[in-house]
Amino acid sequence: MAIPLVPKLLRAHLAELAAEDMRHDGRGRFESRDVELEIDCLTRAEGSARVRMGDTIVFAGVKFQIMTPYPDRPNQGGLMCSAEVRPVAGRQWEPGPPSPQSIELGRVVDRGIRESGCINTEDLCIIPGEKAWQVILDLFAVSDDGNLFDAFALAAIAALKSATIPAERFEAGEDMPLEVSKTPIMCSYHKVGGRFVYDADRREELGGDERIHITLGDDDHVHSLQKGLKGIFTAAEFAEIMNEARSRCAELRDLVDKAIEGE
Amino acid sequence: MKGWLVARPDNMSGDNRADGPRRSQQAPLLVAPGDDLGDSGEFDAGHGVLVMDGRLRALKQGRMNNRDGTVSIEPRRTAYVPRPSDLVIGYIEGCTSNIWFIDIGAPFNAILPMSLGPSKAEFGGIRKVLDIGDAILCRVQEVEENHSSVVTMKGMGLRAIRSGSVEEIDPHLLGRLIGRGGNNLRQLKEETECRVIAGDNGRVWIDGDLGGIIEARNKLNDLLEKAKVAEYGGVA
Amino acid sequence: MGGYGDVQCIDENGIRLDGRKIDEVRPMSIEVGVVPVADGSARMTWGLNDVIAAVYGPMEAHPRKIQRQDRAVLDVRYNMAPFSTTDRIRPGFNRRSREISKVTAEALESVVLTELYPRSKIRVEIEIICAEAGTRCAGITAASVALAHAGIPMTDLVVSVASGKVHDIVVCDLNKEEDNYGEADLPMGILPNSGELVFLQMDGDLSPDQFQEAWDYNMEAAKVVHKHMVEALKRGEA
For residue B140, tell me if it sits in a domain: yes
Which CATH number goes with the domain that contains A81? 3.30.230.70
Give phi and psi for A154, each to the nearest 5.
Answer: -70, -45
Helices then strands, each counted (H, E), chain A: 5, 12
**Per residue in C2-12, pLDDT tens?**
444 567 888 88
pLDDT at A123 over 60: yes
- Distance from C-alpha of C68 to C-alpha of C120, rounded to nearest angstrom: 8
Give the residue from chain A lying closest to C131, CA to CA. Answer: A44
**Which amino acid makes up residue C38?**
A
**B70 in contact with chain C, both atoms CB, cutoff 8 A:** no
H or E element that contains C217: helix C208-235
**The dihedral sign for the CA sequence A258, A259, A260, A261:** positive
Q: How far is CA C48 from the centre of its chain?
A: 14
Distance in angstroms between the alpha carbons of the first and the last residue of chain C: 45
The mean pLDDT value for A30-59 works out to 96
Is A142 within 8 Å of C56 when comparing Cβ atoms? no
**The dihedral sign for the CA sequence A52, A58, A59, A65:** negative
**C118 in contact with chain B, both atoms CB, cutoff 8 A:** yes
In this complex, which chains have at least 3 CB pairs below 8 Å with chain B?
A, C
CB C41 within 8 A of CB C52: yes
CB C76 within 8 A of CB C53: no
The mean pLDDT value for C28-47 works out to 96
For residue A2, tell me if it sits in a domain: no
For residue B155, tell me if it sits in a domain: yes
pLDDT at A33 over 70: yes
CB A196 within 8 A of CB A232: no
pLDDT for A248: 96
For residue A1, tell me if it sits in a domain: no
Task: Report the 3 state secondary structure along C149-175.
Answer: HCCCCECCCCEEEEEEEECCEEECCCC
Domain limit, last residue, from B18, B44, B75 = B75
- Distance from C-alpha of A47 to C-alpha of A165, rounded to nearest angstrom: 9
pLDDT for B146: 65
Give phi and psi for A257, each to the nearest 5.
Answer: -60, -45
In chain B, alpha helices (H): 126-129, 174-178, 183-192, 210-231
pLDDT at B24 over 50: no
pLDDT at A2 over 80: no
- Distance from C-alpha of B146 to C-alpha of B106, rounded to nearest angstrom: 13
Assess whether the previous peptide bond of C63 is cis (omega < 30° from 0).
Answer: yes
Count B/C contacts: CB-CB distance under 8 Å.
105
pLDDT at C238 over 80: no
For residue B236, tell me if it sits in a domain: no
- Distance from C-alpha of B7 to C-alpha of B51, rounded to nearest angstrom: 9
In this complex, which chains have at least 3 CB pairs below 8 Å with chain A?
B, C
CB C215 within 8 A of CB C165: no
Instruction: Give me the domain span that covers residue B183.
Output: 165-231
For residue B44, tell me if it sits in a domain: yes
**B55 in contact with chain C, both atoms CB, cutoff 8 A:** no
Is C157 within 8 Å of B33 when comparing Cβ atoms? yes
- Distance from C-alpha of C154 to C-alpha of C143, rounded to nearest angstrom: 12
B176-185 LR contacts (CB < 8 Å, sep 24+): B176/B24, B176/B223, B176/B226, B176/B227, B177/B204, B177/B220, B177/B223
**C72 in contact with chain B, both atoms CB, cutoff 8 A:** yes
The mean pLDDT value for C182-209 works out to 95
pLDDT at C103 over 70: yes
pLDDT for B16: 47
B52 and B14 belong to one structural domain: yes
**Per residue in A156-178, pLDDT tens?**
999 999 999 999 999 988 999 99
Q: What percent of chain B has pLDDT over 90?
A: 47
**Per residue in B34-77, pLDDT tens?**
999 988 888 889 999 999 888 999 999 988 888 888 999 988 88
B100 and B119 belong to one structural domain: yes
Which CATH number goes with the domain that contains B209? 3.30.1370.10
The mean pLDDT value for A82-99 works out to 92
Distance in angstroms between the alpha carbons of the first and the last residue of chain A: 37
Domain limit, last residue, from B117, B134, B161 = B161
User: Given C57, C151, C192, which is nearest B60 (Cβ)?
Assistant: C151
Which CATH number goes with the domain that contains B105? 2.40.50.140
Is C234 within 8 Å of B32 when comparing Cβ atoms? yes
**Per residue in B146-172, pLDDT tens?**
668 999 999 999 999 999 999 999 888
For residue B2, tell me if it sits in a domain: no
**Per residue in B102-128, pLDDT tens?**
999 998 889 999 999 888 777 778 888
Tell me how many domains chain A contains: 1
Domain limit, last residue, from B52, B75, B98 = B75
Give the residue from chain C lying closest to A61, CA to CA. Answer: C83
Residue A104 exposed, middle or buried by CB count within 10 Å (0-12, 13-18, 19+)? middle
**A138 in contact with chain C, both atoms CB, cutoff 8 A:** yes
User: Given C119, C154, C193, which is nearest B147 (Cβ)?
Assistant: C119
B33: chain C residues, CB-CB within 8 Å: 111, 148, 153-157
- Distance from C-alpha of B13 to C-alpha of C111, rounded to nearest angstrom: 19
pTM of the model: 0.92
Look at residues C22, C66, C12, C17 and name the one whose alpha carbon lies nearest to residue C164.
Answer: C22
For residue B82, tell me if it sits in a domain: no
B20: chain C residues, CB-CB within 8 Å: 151
**C161 pLDDT band (50/70/90 cuts)?**
very high
**B154 in contact with chain C, both atoms CB, cutoff 8 A:** no
The mean pLDDT value for C34-62 works out to 95
pLDDT for B173: 87
**Which amino acid makes up residue C159?**
V
Instruction: Give me the domain span that covers residue A199.
Output: 8-261
pLDDT for C2: 42
Q: What share of chain C is helix, strand, coil (3-state, %, to 5)?
A: 30, 30, 40
Residues belonging to chain B: 236
What domains, with CATH codes, occur in chain C? 28-235 (3.30.230.70)
- Distance from C-alpha of C202 to C-alpha of A168, rounded to nearest angstrom: 35
pLDDT for B9: 45
Give the residue from chain C lying closest to B145, CA to CA. Answer: C118
Q: How many other C-beta atoms lie within 10 A of the C-beta of residue B209?
A: 13
B188 and B211 belong to one structural domain: yes
Task: Name A78's bridge partners.
Answer: A134
Tell me how many domains chain B contains: 3
**C221 in contact with chain A, both atoms CB, cutoff 8 A:** no
pLDDT at B7 over 50: no
Look at residues B168, B170, B169, B188 and name the one whose alpha carbon lies nearest to residue B178.
Answer: B188
**A9 in contact with chain B, both atoms CB, cutoff 8 A:** yes
The mean pLDDT value for C29-38 works out to 96
For residue A37, tell me if it sits in a domain: yes
pLDDT at A23 over 50: yes
pLDDT at C128 over 90: yes
**Which amino acid makes up residue C12?**
E
**A26 in contact with chain B, both atoms CB, cutoff 8 A:** yes
B155 and B91 belong to one structural domain: yes
pLDDT for B14: 43
pLDDT for B121: 74
**Which amino acid makes up residue A131?**
K
pLDDT for B231: 61
